[in-house]
Structure 1
Amino acid sequence: MTAFEPPSASGSSDASGSSGAPGTDGHDAVVLAGGAARRLGGADKPGVRVGGRALLDRVLAACSGAAVTVVVAEPRPTARPVEWAREDPPGGGPLAALDAGLRHTTAEYVVVLSADLPFLDRETVRKLLTALHESDGEGVLLTDPGGRDQPLVAAYRRSALRRGLTALRAEHGELTGLPLRRLTGALELTRITDPVASFDCDTWDDIAAARARIREHGHVLDEWITAVKDELGIDLDVDTDVLLDLARDAAHGVARPAAPLTTFLVGYAAGRAEGGPEAVAEAARKAAALALRWAAEAESTGPDAG
């Protein structure tokens, strides 16, 4: 387990601002999801749900900006399309799994992740890639609150990984059973501390802690919206404050049931227009103005009403 410490600021960042940021374009991702999960009693850890979403799907959402995403495990249904790879023999350990996944990648930068990171988000992935782009090193990884390296929450130069794996295979004959630190210990790495994104789920206590955190005030709304978008296959970031204000105006100015129905119609209108966040905001602005006019009319009884 990586020790978990709640963040000082409320709310979760699931920002999508990866486009256009330095070093975030043209990267690939490798997700290792084939471990035995012995501390979970052999349970299917990537499929364990936190906040209604499988741990693997949560990680795949965080690295959705990758050109190619490779999951090293037996194939399974996922919320996002991926390529599948498997080390030979299966269960050969993280180095063998990384080698198998890396063979499906071509980008200069590769994000390498485990499948048990419930709080990883796209902003953290962007930070890792940007830091790698701005450094002369071979990788950037997260550390936990105790200062321990988390090499499976990291971004690396693909050439450095390939070079290191080739050297280890030449030295040992194979990669099966070798610890990951035999590779990362020889790389020039930059470290970023992130007690939330580095939290991983090794035990059922970890799962319970993760499930409890997302239901805390200040986290639950963002978590719920993200879960719904994944469930519905919607990859769209909108200003939730705008929609909440609209719902409030409709509920107060018209009638309480008007809130969910109005927000539904706003989404429908934006979808018909094939628009992005701007279309949602424009539809919400029009509906909010209508709700305010409706309320003003109800409160006015003089000759100037309407």
Structure 2
Amino acid sequence: MSGVNFNAIILAGGRSSRLGGTPKALLSDGSKTLLASTIKAVSDARHTIVVGPADLPVSENVLLTREDPPFSGPAAALAAGASRLASLGSPAEWTVILSVDMPYISTALTALVEATTDAAPDVLGFMGETEGIRQPLVGIYRTSQLVQALSSDMTDCSVRFALRPLSPAIVQLPAGSTDDVDTWESARATGFDRQL
């Protein structure tokens, strides 16, 4: 993917309240789960961190962590992922952040990673935008600045607030690439409507 080295943080631990508590990460289309699909989309990442329950099925090259306390919001989850990433040796210069509930994210990821190839040194990150809607959980940021921005307590903070210090530039993403699964209706529409 454009030869850009990147890490990935995947948020996979929300309450899924509009799905009656069924974990989004484990919804399947019959051949793969949303989690497996998202991990595959970032298969070129140097380090992949999944933030979610300890029993999520991931391969040995994917690291699991959890925000403390659990369910303290996506910004807290993102901070937990960034903290785990900072503890590793030699993280890549850029880090992708994604929510686990977007089955068509691979085309968006290509656009995000390609945006970094010509990034000026003062550009600290990029946030995706699809059809006029900004997507705070679809972005790519310089790793060191992301870790720094998320180093304080992010409990119950919004992701937009957490990322504001990075002043992300906007990247236009392909239509439909960030369609998400957060109701049973959207689960059926994407085919990810089976429980693992």
- When normalised by structure 1's length, the TM-score is 0.56
Alignment of 1:1-306 (within 5 A): 18=1, 21-22=2-3, 24-25=4-5, 27-75=6-54, 76-78=56-58, 81-105=61-85, 106-121=91-106, 123-136=107-120, 137-145=123-131, 147-166=132-151, 169=152, 174-186=153-165, 187-211=167-191
Q: Deviations over 1:52-110 (max 9, x none)?
A: 21111100000000011000011322367310111111111111111111123222100
Equivalent residues of 1:143, 1:191 under 8 A apart:
yes
Supply the AA of the counterpart residue of 2:20: G
Could you tell me which residue of structure 2 aligns to residue 215 of structure 1? none
Q: Go from structure 1 to structure 2 and tell me whether the alpha carbon gap of 1:197 and 1:99 turns closer, same or farther (over 3 Å shift).
A: same
Query: Which segments of 5 or more consecutive residues in structure 2 lack a partner in the other structure?
Result: 86-90
Structure 2: how far apart are the matches of 1:73 and 1:150? 20
Give the counterpart letter for 1:210 in structure 2.
T
Hey, which of these two has a bigger chunk of strand by percent? 2
Q: Normalized per residue, which structure has more helix? A: 1
Q: Identity over aligned residues, as a percent?
A: 33
Structure index of larger Rg: 1
Structure 1, gaps ≥5 residues long: 1-17, 213-306
The secondary structure found in structure 2 opposite 1:185 is helix
Residue type matched to 1:39 in 2? R
Q: 1:100 to 1:84 in 2, by over 3 A?
A: same
Structure 1 residue 188, shift from structure 2 partner: 3.0
Query: What amino acid is aligned across from residue 46 of structure 1 in structure 2?
Result: A
- Report the 3-state secondary structure (helix = DSSP H, G, I; strand = E; otherwise coil) of the residue aligned with 2:21: coil
Does the 8 A contact of 1:37 with 1:43 survive in 2?
yes
Q: Deviations over 1:272-299 (max 9, x none)?
A: xxxxxxxxxxxxxxxxxxxxxxxxxxxx
Provide TM-score, normalisation by structure 2.
0.85
Instruction: Work out the number of aligned pairs and report it.
Output: 183
SS in 2 for 1:104: helix
Shift of 1:138: 1.7
Displaced runs of 4+ in structure 1, greater than 6 A?
Answer: none
Contact 1:50 1:207 in 2 (8 A): no
